[in-house]
Amino acid sequence: MSDTGIHSDEIHQIGGETIANPRLAEAYRSSTIRLYTHRLNSVSGFAGFERLREAGREAKRQVIENLDYYLGQFADNVERNGGKVHWADTAEEVCRIVVDIVRRATAKEVVKAKTMVAEEVELNRALEGAGIRPVETDLGEFIIQLAGERPAHIVGPAIHKTRDDVSDLFVKHINAERTNVPEELTAIARRALREMFQKAGVGLSGANFAVAETGTVVTVENEGNIRMCTTIPRVHIALVGIEKLIPRLADLGVFIRLLGRSGTGQKLTTYTSLLTGPRRPGEDGPEEMHVVMVDNGRIKSLADPKMREMLYCIRCGACLNACPVYRKIGGHAYGWVYSGPIGALVTPEFVGIGQARELPFASSLCGACREVCPVKINIPDMLLHLRSEAQQHAPKPTEALLPERPAFRLWAWVMRHPALYRLGAKFARWGQFPLARKGWIRKIPTYPVSNWTKERDFPALAPESFRERWKKL
Amino acid sequence: MAKPRVALFITCLADQFFPQVGESVVKILRRLDVDVTFNPAQTCCGQPAFNTGFRDEARSVARRVLDLFEDADYVVAPSGSCSAMVRVFYSELFEDDPDLLRKCRELQKRFFEFSEFLVRVLKVEDLGARFAHRVTYHDSCHLLRELGVDDAPRKLLRNVQGIDLVEMQDYKLCCGFGGTFSVKFPEVSVPMGQDKIHAATETGAEYLVAADGGCLMHLAGLIHRQGVALKTIHLAEILAQR
**pLDDT tens column, A358-373:** 999 999 999 999 999 9
How many A/B residue pairs have CB atoms within 8 Å?
188
**DSSP H or E segment with residue A437:** strand A436-437
Question: What distance in Å separates residue A169's CA from the closest CA in chain B?
Answer: 30
β-pairing verdict for A202-205 and A235-241: parallel
The answer to whether A153 and A159 are in contact (CB under 8 A) is yes
**How does pLDDT run across A228-251, given as a tens digit for each residue?**
999 999 999 999 999 999 999 999
Radius of gyration of chain B (CA): 18
Contact B49 A411 (CB under 8 A): yes
B98 burial level (CB within 10 Å; 0-12, 13-18, 19+): exposed
- The rounded distance, in Å, linking the Cα atoms of A19 and B188 is 8
The four Cα atoms A193, A194, A196, A200 give a dihedral, to 10 degrees, of: 130
Which domains, ranges and CATH numbers included, belong to chain A? 8-299 (3.40.50.10420), 404-470 (no CATH)
Tell whether A21 lies on the interface with B, counting CB pairs under 8 A: no
The shares of helix, strand and coil residues in chain A, as percent rounded to the nearest 5, are 55, 10, 35
Tell whether A433 lies on the interface with B, counting CB pairs under 8 A: no
Write out chain B residues lying below 8 Å of A8, CB-based.
none
B15: nearest CB among A12, A391, A466: A466
**How does pLDDT run across B119-136, given as a tens digit for each residue?**
999 999 999 999 999 999
Q: Cα–Cα–Cα angle for A168, A169, A175, nearest 5°? A: 90
B19: nearest CB among A384, A418, A466: A466
Confidence of residue A387 (pLDDT cuts 50, 70, 90): very high
Q: Is the predicted pLDDT of residue B161 greater than 70, yes or no?
A: yes
**How does pLDDT run across A406-444, given as a tens digit for each residue?**
999 999 999 999 999 999 999 999 999 999 999 999 999
**Would you state the pLDDT for residue B83?**
98
The answer to whether A90 and A296 are in contact (CB under 8 A) is yes
For A89, phi then psi, to 5°, come to -80, -35
**How does pLDDT run across A243-280, given as a tens digit for each residue?**
999 999 999 999 999 999 999 999 999 999 999 999 99
B183: nearest CB among A370, A371, A451: A451
- The rounded distance, in Å, linking the Cα atoms of B90 and B60 is 11
- The rounded distance, in Å, linking the Cα atoms of A363 and A327 is 12
Q: Is the predicted pLDDT of residue B173 greater than 80, yes or no?
A: yes
Q: Is the predicted pLDDT of residue A2 greater than 80, yes or no?
A: no
Strands (E), chain B: 5-8, 35-38, 74-77, 111-113, 134-137, 164-166, 207-210, 231-234
Question: For residue A349, what are the CA distances in angstroms to A296, B125, B200?
Answer: 10, 47, 39
Q: Which amino acid does the sequence have at A400?
A: A
A432 burial level (CB within 10 Å; 0-12, 13-18, 19+): middle
- The rounded distance, in Å, linking the Cα atoms of A242 and A277 is 18
Contact B188 A405 (CB under 8 A): no
Q: Which whole number is the average pLDDT over A140-160?
A: 97
Pick from A16, A4, A5: which is nearest to A362 by CA? A16
Tell whether A454 lies on the interface with B, counting CB pairs under 8 A: yes
The answer to whether A373 and A319 are in contact (CB under 8 A) is yes
Pick from B179, B173, B185: which is nearest to B215 by CA? B179
Confidence of residue A1 (pLDDT cuts 50, 70, 90): very low
Contact B61 A371 (CB under 8 A): no
**How does pLDDT run across A198-216, given as a tens digit for each residue?**
999 999 999 999 999 999 9
Contact A364 B40 (CB under 8 A): no
CATH of domain B134-239: 3.40.50
Q: By three-state DSSP, how is residue B135 classified?
A: strand
B52: nearest CB among A15, A16, A404: A404
Tell whether A436 lies on the interface with B, counting CB pairs under 8 A: no
The chain-wide mean pLDDT, for chain B, equals: 97
The chain-wide mean pLDDT, for chain A, equals: 96
**DSSP H or E segment with residue A411:** helix A404-415
Tell whether A469 lies on the interface with B, counting CB pairs under 8 A: yes
Write out chain A residues lying below 8 Å of B60, CB-based.
412, 416
- The rounded distance, in Å, linking the Cα atoms of A19 and A330 is 8
Please give the share of chain A, as a percent, with pLDDT higher than 90.
Answer: 93
Q: Is the predicted pLDDT of residue B76 greater than 90, yes or no?
A: yes
Write out chain A residues lying below 8 Å of B218, CB-based.
456
Q: Which whole number is the average pLDDT over A187-197?
A: 92
Contact A371 B145 (CB under 8 A): yes
Tell whether A274 lies on the interface with B, counting CB pairs under 8 A: no
Tell whether A426 lies on the interface with B, counting CB pairs under 8 A: no
Nearest CA in chain B to A472: B23
Contact B53 A449 (CB under 8 A): no
DSSP label at residue B130: B
Question: For residue A91, what are the CA distances in angstroms to A88, A145, A292, A300, A380?
Answer: 8, 20, 11, 14, 28
Write out chain A residues lying below 8 Å of B178, CB-based.
363-366
Contact B48 A408 (CB under 8 A): yes
Q: Could you tell me the residue ranges of all domains in chain B? A: 5-121, 134-239
**Would you state the pLDDT for residue A45?**
84
Q: Transcribe A167-189 into DSSP letters.
A: HHHHHHHH-PPP---HHHHHHHH
Write out chain A residues lying below 8 Å of B18, CB-based.
462
Length of chain B counted residue by residue: 242
Residues in Cβ contact with A410 at an 8 Å cutoff, skipping those fewer than 6 apart:
A402
Tell whether A58 lies on the interface with B, counting CB pairs under 8 A: no
What is the ipTM for the molecules in this complex? 0.97
- The rounded distance, in Å, linking the Cα atoms of A414 and A229 is 63
Contact A461 B42 (CB under 8 A): no
Q: Is the predicted pLDDT of residue A51 greater than 50, yes or no?
A: yes
Q: Which amino acid does the sequence have at A314?
A: I
Question: What distance in Å separates residue A351's CA from the closest CA in chain B?
Answer: 20
Pick from A91, A60, A54: which is nearest to A212 by CA? A60
Contact B221 A457 (CB under 8 A): yes
* Number of Cβ within a 10 Å radius of residue B94: 20
Q: Is the predicted pLDDT of residue A356 greater than 80, yes or no?
A: yes
